[in-house]
Amino acid sequence: MPVEPVVAHAPIGRRRLAILAPLKSWGGIERKMLILCREFLAQGVRPVLLLTRGGQIPYPDEFPSEVEIVDLGSSGKFDAVPRLIRYLRNDRPDAILTAKDHAAKVAVVATRLGRLKIPVFVKVTNTLSQTLRRPMKRRTARWLYPQAERVIAISHGVRQDLIDEFGMRPAKVEVIYNPMVTPDLAERALRPLDHPWFGADNPPVFLGAGRLTGQKDFLTLVQAFARVRALRSCRLVILGEGEERGRIETRIRELGVGEDVELPGFVKDPIPWMARAAVFVLSSRYEGLGNVLVEAMAVGTQVVSTDCPSGPSEILDGGRLGLLSPVGDVAGLADSMTRILDHPVDRSELAAGAERFRSSEIARQYLALMGLA
């Protein structure tokens, strides 16, 4: 069955980069792809977004119309490979960038089976030893990932995990951070927020954000907050939705802090919330980088995080730009939350620490690595 491209407005530029991923219409990886596509266009490279396994255009109301969209119409790896081969033979991009494990494996297999001399660059967005739990998936990754031109890790911790757990040669793995600090960040921080807790004379608000899953460990955050709340007036807001909502709400009731905790659900743009919170708290068991910490720092908000693999310690410069506590340690997290209120980091230092994640520079690093600069 031939691939029938669904194409948006014709793009501009010279070099062409295919981006392969099973994306949703929203999410963390999806937001990074949106940002990178904007920056690639600005730097003269034409992105082509290849959707697989029921993928959707990320943030369709914001996605640049200059990016070509091709839906491969695949439902899994087996039919995605021949569809991708047909596409690449007809319309050869200069390079392929993948996001998510499914796309990485499809791209490597397709270029090998199709004998296509198109370099594949695999972006690894999380600590792979934590996200690939099934032995077969781990074995397949061990075999296929080294066949990519380069693997791009979003933190040094993710890179080390690939070397230690998946046998990657160090020369094959490059670290490029996520593009978190964008030109519109300051304007987004000033957008109005209609919520009664964020007034100037209200108690300080702790903020968490992310999918309500075991990985994010919001149960530990809620218990730590209850300890802080017993000592001083404060509130907690957790942005996001997920399968752990019921357990979190039950724990909030058991702790008797329901009047001071709110779970508004998924919020399209958390930046206005971050800019008005007293402290942003990351309570995760593991991460690829910890993007939300960068965003909070960039808008001048104090940050506290678990010292989880991988990313928070890199972002916070070992604790200089925000406090770190052990994973799952309720008392330690509560202590960090209290101490950061009493001894905040200078806002100018937070903003300076976030500059490593400037989107234009990150895009330049991608294009240089892929030979498209």
- The CATH number corresponding to 15-179+358-369 among 3.30.70.260, 1.10.569.10, 3.40.50.2000, 3.40.1360.10 equals 3.40.50.2000
DSSP string, 37-79: HHHHHHTTEEEEEEE-SS---SSTTTS-TTSEEEE---SSHHH
pLDDT surpasses 50 at 78: yes
Mean pLDDT lowest for which of 26-35, 40-49, 105-114, 282-291?
A: 26-35
CB 193 within 8 A of CB 272: yes
Strand partners, 237: 207, 262
Please write the tens of the pLDDT for every residue from 229-252. Answer: 999 999 999 999 999 999 999 999
Structure confidence at residue 4 as a pLDDT band (50, 70, 90):
very low
Domain ranges across the chain: 15-179+358-369, 185-356
Could you report how far apart the first and last alpha carbons of the chain are, in Å? 36
Q: Is the dihedral of CA 66, 28, 59, 62 positive or negative?
A: negative
pLDDT surpasses 80 at 7: no
pLDDT surpasses 50 at 330: yes
State residue 234's pLDDT score.
Answer: 98
Residue type, 323: L
**Fold matches, 15-179+358-369 and 185-356:** yes
Residue 217: is it exposed, middle or buried by C-beta count within 10 angstroms (0-12/13-18/19+)?
A: buried
Please write the tens of the pLDDT for every residue from 188-204. Answer: 999 999 999 998 889 99
Cα separation, 254 vs 250, in Å, equals 6
Q: Which H or E run includes 7?
A: none
Structure confidence at residue 27 as a pLDDT band (50, 70, 90):
confident
State residue 168's pLDDT score.
Answer: 95
Mean pLDDT lowest for which of 7-16, 31-40, 168-177, 245-254?
A: 7-16
Please write the tens of the pLDDT for every residue from 312-324. Answer: 999 999 999 999 9
CB 314 within 8 A of CB 305: no
Strands 205-209 and 302-306: unpaired
DSSP string, 199-229: STTSPPEEEEES-SSGGGTHHHHHHHHHHHH
pLDDT surpasses 90 at 77: no
pLDDT surpasses 50 at 9: no
Q: Which H or E run includes 329?
A: none
Structure confidence at residue 125 as a pLDDT band (50, 70, 90):
very high
pLDDT surpasses 60 at 6: no
Domain 185-356: CATH architecture, name and number where available: 3-Layer(aba) Sandwich (3.40)
